[in-house]
Amino acid sequence: MNPLLQVEGLGKTYGNRLGCEDVSFELQAGEVLAIVGESGSGKTTLLRCLSGHLQASSGRVLYAQRDGRSVCLADLSEAERRMLMRTDWGFVHQDAREGLRMGVSAGANVGERLMAVGARHYGHIRSTAEDWLTRVEINRERIDDSPWAYSGGMRQRLQIARNLVTSPRLIFMDEPTGGLDVSVQARLLDLIRGLVRKFNLAAIVVTHDLAVARLLSSRMMVMQQGRVIETGLTDQVLEDPQAPYTQLLVSSVLQV
Amino acid sequence: MNAPTYNFAYLNEQTKRMIRRAILKAVAVPGYQVPFASREMPMPYGWGTGGVQVTAAILTPDDTLKVIDQGADDTTNAVSIRKFFVKTSGVATTEKTEDATIIQTRHRIPETPLTEDQILVFQVPIPEPLRFLEPRETETRVMHALEEYGVMQVKLYEDIAQYGQIATTYAYPAKVADRYVFDPSPIPKFDNPKLNDCPALQLFGAGREKRIYAVPPYTKVVSLDFEDHPFEIQTWDRPCAICGSRKSFLDEILTDDAGGQMFVCSDTDFCARQQNQSA
């Protein structure tokens, strides 16, 4: 079987400055990959290149479509790429305000993707939105509230619902638990783990928090200064880190 | 009379040519917003500088001009624009819809059906229907190019969620010739059905935003809606208090400071004609 996502020698430079360099990996359907590293190590640049938000300077990304054919992202027209981004893919931003349409209600946020792919029946859109709010543990009575009236954790869950409503196959997450307090983080991680398993979602999660990587991912990649310095099964990397930087990272986790 | 120091219809011939080119392109691509080099006009933005430039570019000495504001021939905006063209071009003017060859309008389409010999010119404040949902011009252009109009539906969804019905009553978005979603300027949605399959050429000018767009004669214009919340126009539970018409768009007029009001036709020409008929 073709891997869902196949990345070959991906690099991005900002003028003379390096974003990321020579990144290659494969992602199977239903697999969760964590990308960890410190701030400025190129994690987010890599994620934005993979998800088509940024144009890579070198290398290529192959994506296996539902019909089994692999397409190179750079070869897709803008219309096809944008279609992919709002049907087959999802993107969960660290700051929910970037990922949500803050000016409209929660229900409209969830329904937007449906309407973008042609849903024109208000009743159906609304019941689907209610259904999804319940799945992400938001009270359905709050469907007409503005996301401004939501707490940080709720906004993040709303963002997830908004992305999952078109049953995507691949979801990108940029620090999904950043800025949330620990108990809310734990609930959110639990929710994401459940959804990923239930819908057989593949996910690429960027995080600086090793605990997030451990809970969500089956495989992880460690980045430093734009390069991948270590990859492997999550447990293996965390239990027996090989690269000096990874050892440092693992040993610097605060123990309570 | 021609004011001696101005060119016919105020604008110089080069400018008119530039505007006519934009108009031709707009007619060729119905509903598409064509950028044009909008000029400073001797009136403030918001007074119809876009419509005035379009009218100036298409006006000929043989034309008969009618100018309406909210359907009325005798309100400030209509009177000043009519006087402007009388002064700068000397064309004949009329208040009768069927006698006019060019009708410049703000906020209404006349009740009297238009004909193939007429051109309707709209004054448009904000031509971009997606603007309130997507502030970036670069993004709205891509959305038009790729026909990504789902977000327009989000606005209508939000209306129903908040008010139980589609609460947008003017500048109601519609799709032209199955392609471009456009803003028909702030006409009441009552007038949206008149846009569809209209025998007259309809031109839209936005002066501040520097855009011209058009609905050519006999073009399909469909107002956006939901299957279970279809597009509907306004209705009133009473006829016009002056002419008794039940099929025209009514304005509420306050008659005193004790809550007195009456509903009358916003189209003054139509209202006067109805009165004559019944008299």
Instruction: Give the model confidence (pLDDT) of B53-98 as tens digits.
Output: 999 999 999 999 999 999 999 999 999 999 999 999 999 999 999 9
Percent of chain A with pLDDT over 90: 66
B109 pLDDT higher than 80: yes
* pTM, full prediction: 0.87
pLDDT at A38: 84
B164 touches chain A (CB under 8 A): no
pLDDT at B2: 53
Q: What is the mean pLDDT of residues B262-277?
A: 92
Q: Look over chain A and give the mean of its residue pLDDT values, rounded to a whole number.
A: 91
CA-based nearest distance B40→chain A, Å? 34
A108 touches chain B (CB under 8 A): yes
B133 to chain A: which residues are within 8 Å by CB?
101, 103
State the Cα–Cα distance between residues A124 and B227, nearest whole angstrom.
10
A148 pLDDT higher than 90: yes
CA-based nearest distance B153→chain A, Å? 7
pLDDT at A40: 87
pLDDT at A69: 87
Closest by Cβ to B161, choosing from A108, A115, A118: A108
CA–CA distances in Å: residue A219 to residues A33, A178, A234: 5, 20, 5
Active site (annotated) includes residue B243:
yes
Closest by Cβ to B229, choosing from A115, A117, A122: A122
B153/A120 Cβ within 8 A: yes
CA-based nearest distance A79→chain B, Å? 6
Give the number of other CB atoms < 10 A from CB of residue B256: 7
B278 pLDDT higher than 80: no
Active site (annotated) includes residue B265:
yes
State the Cα–Cα distance between residues A229 and A241, nearest whole angstrom.
11
Supply the ipTM of this predicted assembly: 0.85
A78/B157 Cβ within 8 A: no
pLDDT at B64: 97
State the Cα–Cα distance between residues A193 and A34, nearest whole angstrom.
13
State the Cα–Cα distance between residues B39 and B208, nearest whole angstrom.
9
Strand B211-215 relative to strand B201-206, pairing: antiparallel
* Sign of the torsion angle spanned by Cα atoms B33, B39, B45, B50: negative
B163 touches chain A (CB under 8 A): no
Q: Look over chain B and give the mean of its residue pLDDT values, rounded to a whole number.
A: 94
State the Cα–Cα distance between residues A182 and A180, nearest whole angstrom.
6
State the Cα–Cα distance between residues A33 and A222, nearest whole angstrom.
11
pLDDT at A177: 87
A126 pLDDT higher than 90: yes
Q: What is the mean pLDDT of residues B253-268?
A: 94
Tell me the three-class secondary structure of chain A, residue by residue.
Answer: CCCCEEEEEEEEEECCEEEEEEEEEEECCCCEEEEECCCCCCHHHHHHHHCCCCCCCEEEEEEECCCCCEEEHHHCCHHHHHHHHHHCEEEECCCHHHHCCCCCCHHHHHHHHHHHCCCCCHHHHHHHHHHHHHHCCCCHHHCCCCHHHCCHHHHHHHHHHHHHCCCCCEEEEECCCCCCCHHHHHHHHHHHHHHHHHCCCEEEEEECCHHHHHHHCCEEEEEECCEEEEEEEHHHHHHCCCCHHHHHHHHCCCCC
Token pair for B6 = 């101005």
B226 touches chain A (CB under 8 A): yes
Token pair for B273 = 């004609």
A44 pLDDT higher than 60: yes
CA-based nearest distance A82→chain B, Å? 9
B17 pLDDT higher than 90: yes
Please report the residues numbered 7 through 26 in chain B whose beta carbons come closer than 8 angstroms to any beta carbon of chain A. Answer: none
B229/A115 Cβ within 8 A: no
B3 pLDDT higher than 60: no
B227 touches chain A (CB under 8 A): yes
Q: How many A/B residue pairs have CB atoms within 8 Å? A: 57
Closest by Cβ to B158, choosing from A104, A120, A121: A104
In the chain, the amino acid numbered A66 is R
Q: pLDDT per residue over A199-229, tens digit each?
A: 999 999 999 888 889 999 999 999 999 999 9
Q: pLDDT per residue over A57-74, tens digit each?
A: 999 999 998 888 889 988
Active-site residue, from B31, B50, B51, B205: B31
Are the CB atoms for A100 and A160 separated by under 8 Å? Answer: no
Give the number of other CB atoms < 10 A from CB of residue B44: 10
Q: What is the mean pLDDT of residues B224-247?
A: 94
Choose the weakest-confidence range: A130-139, B14-23, B209-218.
Answer: A130-139
CA-based nearest distance B136→chain A, Å? 14
B1 pLDDT higher than 60: no
Are the CB atoms for B27 and B100 separated by under 8 Å? Answer: no
pLDDT at A173: 94
Active site (annotated) includes residue B271:
yes
A82 to chain B: which residues are within 8 Å by CB?
146, 148
A53 to chain B: which residues are within 8 Å by CB?
none
Q: Which residue has the higher pLDDT, B76 or B3?
A: B76
- Find, among B14, B86, B6, B34, the residue nearest to B206 by Cα: B34
A105 to chain B: which residues are within 8 Å by CB?
158, 161-162
A100 to chain B: which residues are within 8 Å by CB?
none
Helical (H) or strand (E) element with B28: helix B13-28
State the Cα–Cα distance between residues B123 and B247, nearest whole angstrom.
24
B160 to chain A: which residues are within 8 Å by CB?
122
State the Cα–Cα distance between residues A106 and A55, nearest whole angstrom.
31
A249 pLDDT higher than 90: no
B150/A115 Cβ within 8 A: yes
pLDDT at A256: 63
Question: Which residue in B has a C-alpha nearest to residue A104's C-alpha?
Answer: B158
B161/A116 Cβ within 8 A: no
CA-based nearest distance A201→chain B, Å? 25
pLDDT at A53: 87
Question: Which residue in A has a C-alpha nearest to residue B150's C-alpha?
Answer: A116
